[in-house]
Amino acid sequence: MEKKATTPAPKAAAAPKKQGKGGVLNPAWVIPLLFAIALCIYIFVLGAPDHFIDGDHEKGPKPGDYYGIVYKGGPIVPILMTCFLIVLVYTIERLITLSKASGTSNVDVFVRKVRGLLDKNQIDEAIRECDKQKGSVGNVIRTGLEKYKLLTTDTVLDKEQKMAALSKEIEEATTLEMPMLQKNLTIIATLASASTLIALLGTVIGMIKAFAALGASGSPDSAALATGISEALINTGLGIGTAAIATISYAYLNSKVDDLTYSIDEISMSIQQNFAAHY
């Protein structure tokens, strides 16, 4: 009967999962919204008549007017702009989420405090530190410490079973938190490569237009050739820039997730070692 009393504990760890989902931007509506914004920027800002000779798109952009130059990149431009906006929005969203997951104070300081309290076997004080810290790290460690306290009064399980139960509790709590930490990183990683391919498509379309105009005229048409090549290079530049930002963003955010995971693992090991030493 006493074994059954210990089973509800994992339910307490489910709360962080719900909190994590609450702050996540749903790609199902974010991506279409960002595409609409990019399209409006392309049509009404980059394509504004002020950026073109005599206000005519066919006459080309004014000399040195980069808004008009980017507009002449063609229909692939708003797609690449959407990719850039998605990377920007989700990078900011992940930074905010990971900052909240870290808690109210520096994670390294929190780890040292909890380990110090564990060395003194001051479990209640360590739990209070977790309540102050909050975030994913605090939530997982608090769950482990609550299980720790519960197992100290358990007279049915032997030491080996208690260690296994404590380890399982911490693993389950960590498993509930990890999806929230890694959410939407896949989108950024995908755009790091996809934006390059989309840019390549725009480049190919531009080159096709350039050579089609050259073939149709039957004689070298430097204006048509330059227009097509310009369109190709604009798409190339936007795609490479977006891919570079996405790659850097993903690497940085992934390292932040790894740091949080390492901190959780570090304290979890201390909890298990402390329990093994005292009980």
- Sign of the CA dihedral with 110 first, then 115, 116, and 122 last: positive
Q: Is the pLDDT of residue 206 over 90?
A: no
Describe the chain by its helix, strand, coil percentages, rounded to 5. 85, 0, 15
Q: Answer with the residue of higher pLDDT: 19 or 218.
A: 218
CB 113 within 8 A of CB 78: no
CB 241 within 8 A of CB 195: no
Q: Answer with the residue of higher pLDDT: 141 or 223.
A: 141
Burial of 1 (0-12, 13-18, 19+ CB in 10 A): exposed
Give buried/exposed letters for 127-150 (b at 16+ CB in 10 A, else e).
bebbeebbbbbbbbbbbbbbbbeb
> pLDDT tier at 217 (50, 70, 90 boundaries)?
low
Q: How far apart are CA 232 and CA 210, in angstroms?
A: 9
**Predicted local distance difference test score (pLDDT) of residue 77:** 95
* H/E segment holding residue 158: none
Amino acid identity of 133?
A: Q
**Predicted local distance difference test score (pLDDT) of residue 49:** 93
Q: List pLDDT tens digits, range 23-72.
A: 568 999 999 999 999 999 999 999 999 999 888 888 888 888 889 989 98
CB 129 within 8 A of CB 118: no
Beta-carbon contacts of 233 under 8 Å, excluding residues fewer than 6 positions away, are 203, 206
Q: Answer with the residue of higher pLDDT: 244 or 63.
A: 244
pLDDT averaged over every residue in the chain: 85
- Give bridge partners of residue 52 from the DSSP assignment: 61
Provide the token pair at 255: 């390292």
Q: Report residue 129 CA to chain centroid gap.
A: 28
**Predicted local distance difference test score (pLDDT) of residue 18:** 41
**pTM surpassing 0.75?**
yes
Any idea what DSSP says for residue 103? Answer: -
Q: How far apart are CA 75 and CA 34, in angstroms?
A: 16
Nearest 5°: CA angle at 197, between 98 and 203?
A: 130
Q: How far apart are CA 68 and CA 61, in angstroms?
A: 5
Q: Is the pLDDT of residue 87 over 90?
A: yes
3-state secondary structure of 75: coil
What percent of the chain stands above pLDDT 90? 41
Q: Which of 3-12, 175-184, 213-222, 265-274 has the lowest mean pLDDT?
A: 3-12
Q: Mean per-residue pLDDT for 245-268?
A: 92
**Predicted local distance difference test score (pLDDT) of residue 219:** 63
Question: How many CB atoms within 10 Å of residue 73?
Answer: 27
**Predicted local distance difference test score (pLDDT) of residue 10:** 41
